């Protein structure tokens, strides 16, 4: 008997029989990562009236796709209960410190607004795209593009292009970021704390086509930790008295997966020898010795390494490195000449996707390649999306496998150890602050994460510990 549900996690009960079947997750996998329109639409599409009947149809469909069936039964379904427990655990929020950070942000917003007013010379509504656009284009001389409605485009991506030339734009961007931090995190988080002082996010398994988890209400995966105030907000999350936080972060996991999928010997060799892969790429790009690579050259190589993974165009790379488009294209061409197996992998992968109408991750997760029926070619925009899919998707699948193994080997045997957060390549745990047992626990968790799936290169995990999430230090 199938106990069919739509969105098992939202209705999860620990006493529920293990043969529960989540039709929502099944449909997400079977529809190759397309947007889900909901339970009623799925019932109509399959021509059935009950979830039990829908589950039977989906099970029959899974028989045609062994990899997807395994992904559903061995990864996604077991993960639902783990995510339910993580949501239930939550993480402690220091509201006293957060209020202080909020006051600091408020002061910074006021100072930035005053500075902008001084630069403008008259009163301007910083929340009005029309007033901002008119001032920048007509008074400051910023060559802004126009939207379809004829107004000047003032979104972050558009105005950020001119931040180096027009200092006021950097002030505007700072003002927007501070305002977003205030509303999204400071004001919002304080209202979401439960009676035990904990914040509980909600994880979604079917929101991202690559299989990555998303987090909402609040979004714990998107705190801008590169900024000073973002880091201060992150430090408001903490372990309770007598506990400590440990984070485990896969090191350059996506580049390791790229090496595994492509079989590129130079990349594999760099990882096997424990070299800095960005310095290795820089030494090959600039034709210099590994030891001679400068900091700036490493930055270029790092941008290109990750740019290739994310399907970045020469234009996007030129914006990131602040160089001409032609120079960025030359770097990309040199990269592919340096790592020929990466280019041949992507060429073959895209070609096969065009033939099949879908592409796959290492574990068989699929993504459609044609957005419209009858379409026969993959445009550049979709090509960039597809280039990232097997890398990010495989990383997401392997992280889920690690979470399931950790739950089985660690959490079910230790009630005082809790998995709190997953931020893509990073897991955060709350554990007893026992300094004698900590090294053995960290070693065990790292071993499980590193060995969850054998890659052709060694997998590495960095561990950090500390009472506060934003102030953890590397554990040696």
CATH of residue 248? 3.30.70.370
- What pLDDT was estimated at residue 146? 86
The answer as to whether 229 is a domain residue is no
Q: Last residue of some domain: 60, 89, 118?
A: 89
Q: Check whether 115 has a pLDDT greater than 80.
A: yes
Kindly state whether residues 148 and 27 are assigned to the same domain: no
Instruction: Report the percentage of the chain scoring pLDDT > 70.
Output: 99
Kindly state whether residues 51 and 65 are assigned to the same domain: yes
Q: Are 237 and 470 in contact (CB under 8 A)?
A: yes
Q: Check whether 451 has a pLDDT greater than 80.
A: yes
- What pLDDT was estimated at residue 459? 97
The answer as to whether 234 is a domain residue is no
Kindly state whether residues 60 and 97 are assigned to the same domain: no
Q: How far apart are CA 164 and CA 247, in angstroms?
A: 36
Asked which of 41-55, 71-85, 131-145, 417-431 is least confident by mean pLDDT, the reply is 131-145
Please give the tally of structural domains in the chain.
Answer: 4
Tokens 């397309």 identify what position?
Answer: 34
Kindly state whether residues 70 and 129 are assigned to the same domain: no
The answer as to whether 82 is a domain residue is yes
Mean pLDDT of 158-173: 87
Q: Which candidate, 437, 77, 389, places its Cα nearest to that of 465?
A: 437
Kindly state whether residues 291 and 374 are assigned to the same domain: yes
Kindly state whether residues 66 and 154 are assigned to the same domain: no
Lookup: tokens for 275: 């070299």
Q: Which candidate, 360, 392, 366, 362, places its Cα nearest to that of 454?
A: 362
Mean pLDDT of 201-205: 96
Q: How far apart are CA 312 and CA 105, in angstroms?
A: 34
What's the CATH number where 177 sits? 1.20.1060.10
What's the CATH number where 300 sits? 1.10.150.20
**Largest CA-CA distance found in the chain, in angstroms, rounded:** 73
- Give the contacts of 52 (CB within 8 A, at least 6 positions apart): 2, 4
Q: Last residue of some domain: 66, 89, 112?
A: 89
Q: Check whether 18 has a pLDDT greater than 80.
A: no
Q: Which candidate, 212, 204, 206, places its Cα nearest to that of 30?
A: 206
Q: How far apart are CA 403 and CA 388, in angstroms?
A: 23
Mean pLDDT of 198-223: 94
Mean pLDDT of 458-472: 96
User: Which letter does DSSP use for residue 460 in this model?
Assistant: -
Kindly state whether residues 27 and 98 are assigned to the same domain: no
E strand segments, 206-266: 214-216, 237-238, 243-250
Kindly state whether residues 193 and 165 are assigned to the same domain: yes
DSSP 209-223: TT---EEESS-TT--
- What pLDDT was estimated at residue 17? 54
Q: Check whether 373 has a pLDDT greater than 80.
A: no
Banded model confidence at residue 156, pLDDT cuts 50, 70, 90: confident
Q: Convert 280-290 to b/e letters by CB count within 10 Å (16 or more is b).
A: bbbbbbbeeee
The answer as to whether 348 is a domain residue is yes
Tokens 């270029």 identify what position?
Answer: 300
Q: How far apart are CA 207 and CA 332, in angstroms?
A: 31
- What pLDDT was estimated at residue 53? 95
Kindly state whether residues 276 and 192 are assigned to the same domain: no
DSSP 125-151: -TT-HHHHHHIIIIIS-----B-TTSP
Q: Convert 181-191 to b/e letters by CB count within 10 Å (16 or more is b).
A: bbebbbeebee
Q: Check whether 129 has a pLDDT greater than 60.
A: yes
Q: Check whether 16 has a pLDDT greater than 70.
A: no
The answer as to whether 330 is a domain residue is yes
The answer as to whether 232 is a domain residue is no
Angle (CA) 308 402 350, round 5° = 30
**Domain coverage including residue 359:** 255-393
Kindly state whether residues 287 and 376 are assigned to the same domain: yes
Map residue 337 onto helix, strand or coil: helix
Kindly state whether residues 260 and 381 are assigned to the same domain: yes
Q: What is the dihedral sign for C-alpha 79, 80, 83, 85? A: negative
Cis peptide bond upstream of 218, omega within 30: yes
The answer as to whether 230 is a domain residue is no
The answer as to whether 74 is a domain residue is yes
Q: Last residue of some domain: 89, 113, 147?
A: 89
Where helices occur in 16-162 by DSSP H, the ranges are 23-30, 39-46, 51-62, 66-70, 77-89, 95-120, 129-134, 156-160
Tokens 């073959």 identify what position?
Answer: 348
With the CA atoms of 277, 283, 286 and 288 taken in that order, what torsion angle do they form, in degrees rounded to the nearest 10?
Answer: 170
Kindly state whether residues 120 and 45 are assigned to the same domain: no
Q: Check whether 420 has a pLDDT greater than 90.
A: yes
Angle (CA) 27 33 35, round 5° = 80
């Amino acid at each position: 008997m199938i106990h069919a549900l739509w969105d098992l996690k939202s209705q999860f009960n620990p006493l529920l029989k293990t043969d529960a079947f989540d039709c929502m997750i099944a449909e997400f996998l079977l529809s190759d990562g397309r947007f889900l329109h909901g339970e009623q639409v799925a019932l109509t599409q399959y021509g059935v009236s009950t979830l039990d009947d829908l589950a039977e149809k989906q099970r029959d469909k899974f028989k045609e796709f062994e990899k997807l069936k395994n992904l559903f039964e061995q990864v996604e379904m077991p993960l639902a209960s783990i995510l339910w427990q993580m949501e239930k655990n939550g993480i402690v929020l220091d509201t006293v410190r957060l209020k202080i950070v909020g006051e600091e942000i408020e002061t910074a917003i006021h100072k930035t607004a005053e500075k902008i007013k001084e630069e403008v010379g008259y009163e301007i509504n910083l929340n009005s795209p029309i007033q901002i656009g008119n001032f920048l284009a007509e008074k400051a001389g910023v060559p802004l593009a126009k939207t379809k409605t004829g107004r000047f485009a003032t979104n972050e991506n558009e105005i950020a292009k001119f931040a180096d030339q027009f200092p006021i734009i950097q002030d505007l961007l700072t003002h927007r970021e501070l305002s977003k931090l205030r509303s999204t995190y400071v004001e919002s988080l304080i209202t979401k704390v439960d009676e035990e002082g904990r914040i509980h996010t909600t994880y979604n398994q079917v929101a991202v086509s690559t299989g990555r988890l998303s987090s909402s209400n609040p979004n714990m995966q998107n705190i801008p930790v590169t900024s000073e105030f973002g880091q201060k907000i992150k430090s408001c999350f903490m372990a309770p008295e007598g506990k400590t936080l440990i984070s485990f972060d896969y090191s350059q996991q996506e580049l390791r997966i790229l090496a595994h999928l492509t079989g590129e010997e130079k990349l594999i060799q760099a990882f096997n020898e424990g070299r800095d892969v960005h310095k290795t790429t820089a030494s090959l790009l600039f034709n210099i010795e590994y030891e001679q690579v400068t900091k700036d050259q490493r930055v270029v190589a790092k941008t290109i390494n990750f740019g290739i993974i994310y399907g970045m165009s020469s234009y996007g790379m030129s914006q990131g490195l602040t160089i001409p488009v032609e120079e960025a294209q030359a770097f990309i061409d040199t990269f592919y000449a340096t790592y020929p197996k990466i280019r041949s992998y992507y060429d073959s992968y895209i070609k096969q996707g065009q033939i099949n109408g879908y592409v796959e991750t290492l574990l068989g997760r699929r993504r459609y390649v044609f957005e419209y029926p009858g379409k026969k070619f993959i445009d550049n925009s979709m090509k960039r999306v597809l280039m990232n899919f097997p890398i990010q998707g495989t990383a997401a699948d392997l992280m889920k496998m690690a979470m399931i193994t950790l739950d089985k080997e660690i959490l079910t045997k230790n009630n005082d150890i809790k998995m709190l957060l997953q931020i893509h390549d990073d897991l955060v745990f709350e554990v007893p602050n026992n300094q004698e047992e900590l090294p053995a626990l960290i070693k065990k968790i790292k071993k499980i994460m590193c060995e969850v799936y054998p890659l052709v290169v060694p997998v590495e995990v960095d561990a950090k510990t500390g009472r506060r999430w934003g102030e953890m230090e590397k554990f040696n």
